[in-house]
Copies of this chain bind each other. A is one copy, B any other.
Amino acid sequence: MFAPLQNDTFLRACLRQPTTHTPLWLMRQAGRYLPEYRATRAKAGSFMGLATNTDYATEVTLQPLARYALDAAILFSDILTVPDAMGLGLSFQLGEGPRFAHPVRDEAAVARLAVPDMARLRYVFDAVTSIRKALNGRVPLIGFSGSPWTLACYMVEGGGSDDYRLVKSMLYARPDLMHRMLSINADAVALYLNTQIQAGAQAVMVFDSWGGVLADGAFQDFSLAYTRRVVSQLQREAGGVRVPVIVFTKGGGPWLAQIADCGADVVGVDWTVNLAAARAQVGARVALQGNLDPNVLFAPPEVVATEARRVLDAFGPPQRTDGGWDGHVFNLGHGISQYTPPEHVAALVEAVHSHSRSLRRMAGE
């Protein structure tokens, strides 16, 4: 059904198999910093108009690959499609973040929640298949979802928040309601990701964007436990090929060892994490993905290259360990900023590829 994969560097690194260079992709690589993205979005009229149209979603997913030698594509979509399919009414106001028309704030609203019919998310699976075909085997396609906790944050707050007061009030005052919501979210996310895999996704990523706002203890009980519930339900193979699972908790540095035990193949880390220390701590269990500060991309290209090399040097050259090889997937520690000069991204890609090749030569690989 799909063309054979030509560049499997990303999948190999996820599975801690040897690679000739460190693969890279960028969170939100198909996005507003690209003029061609802005042109397509203008045609689509709105963010959801873009995400729900198979042709447009395919077009913007492939745009960064036309400019840069990225080692993976990621489905163009939003982390909040699942609660939208639950009937919460997702919209994006211009210049603001996502909004839910019907936030979940009381027992009755929680009682109404259920795993949505995947037919309501058909536009996502259609986009996955369309993109996979359009990629024609060039690089692997990553599918994704928000984590159960991150979805709950938006579902309760009704949008972004700077203090998470409403969702944490429910968590501390009515943990029973929160656990019920998170159970439903977890089962919905697992089904959603499995359907993406069946539609053609070659790896999947769980974005726990707001796990890092939780207290120690609460993180384990209300975020990580439900991410684990998702991962345990995932289909890990498609067409005889392993489908790696990436879990990224922004601000998850304090809990890295515990996150590495959640069943994922890859743990994403933000820029506050020292990659050498992280590798020493968890490198034999999972691959690591990250972790350049996206703000580095505002510096001149030579500084971008220096900072990219610094990230690669922090991780160090690949080494054989008990369970395989140390895997590193280069990425930012957060989505790329809409203000990023596109030519700086070219400098980043070039630096990551060339320096990671020279690290392997020095290590005698």
Q: Is the CB of B216 within 8 A of A272?
A: yes
Say yes or no for A49: interface residue by CB 8 A criterion.
no
Instruction: Enumerate A283-338 residues with CB–CB distance to B below 8 Å.
Output: 291-293, 295-296, 298-300, 303, 307, 310, 314, 333, 337
Interface string of A159-195 (1 = CB under 8 A from B): 0000111001100110000000000000000000000
Residues of B within 8 A of A219 (CB): 272
Residues of B within 8 A of A295 (CB): 163-165, 168-169, 172
Q: Which residue of B lies closest to A162 (CB)?
A: B162
Q: Is the CB of A172 within 8 A of B296?
A: yes
Q: Is the CB of A272 within 8 A of B298?
A: no
Known A293-B215, A310-B217; judge A172-B298 contact (CB<8 A). Answer: yes
Say yes or no for A18: interface residue by CB 8 A criterion.
no
Say yes or no for A238: interface residue by CB 8 A criterion.
no
Residues of B within 8 A of A274 (CB): 216-217, 254
Say yes or no for A123: interface residue by CB 8 A criterion.
no
Q: Which residue of B lies closest to A293 (CB)?
A: B215
A275 CA / B254 CA spacing, docked (Å): 11
Residues of B within 8 A of A339 (CB): 165
Q: Is the CB of A271 within 8 A of B173?
A: no
Give the residue of B172, B214, B215 whose beta carbon is less than 8 angstroms from that of A303.
B172
Footprint of B on A, CB under 8 Å?
A: 163-165, 168-169, 172-173, 212, 214-219, 251, 253-254, 271-275, 291-293, 295-296, 298-300, 303, 307, 310, 314, 333, 337, 339
Question: What 5 additional pairs, Cβ within 8 angstroms, besides A164-B295, A253-B253?
Answer: A165-B339, A169-B295, A172-B299, A215-B333, A216-B275
Could you pull out 23 A-B pairs where Cβ atoms are within 8 angstroms?
Answer: A163-B295, A165-B298, A165-B337, A168-B298, A169-B298, A172-B295, A173-B298, A173-B300, A212-B272, A214-B271, A215-B272, A215-B296, A215-B333, A216-B272, A216-B275, A216-B314, A217-B310, A217-B314, A251-B251, A251-B272, A253-B253, A253-B254, A254-B272
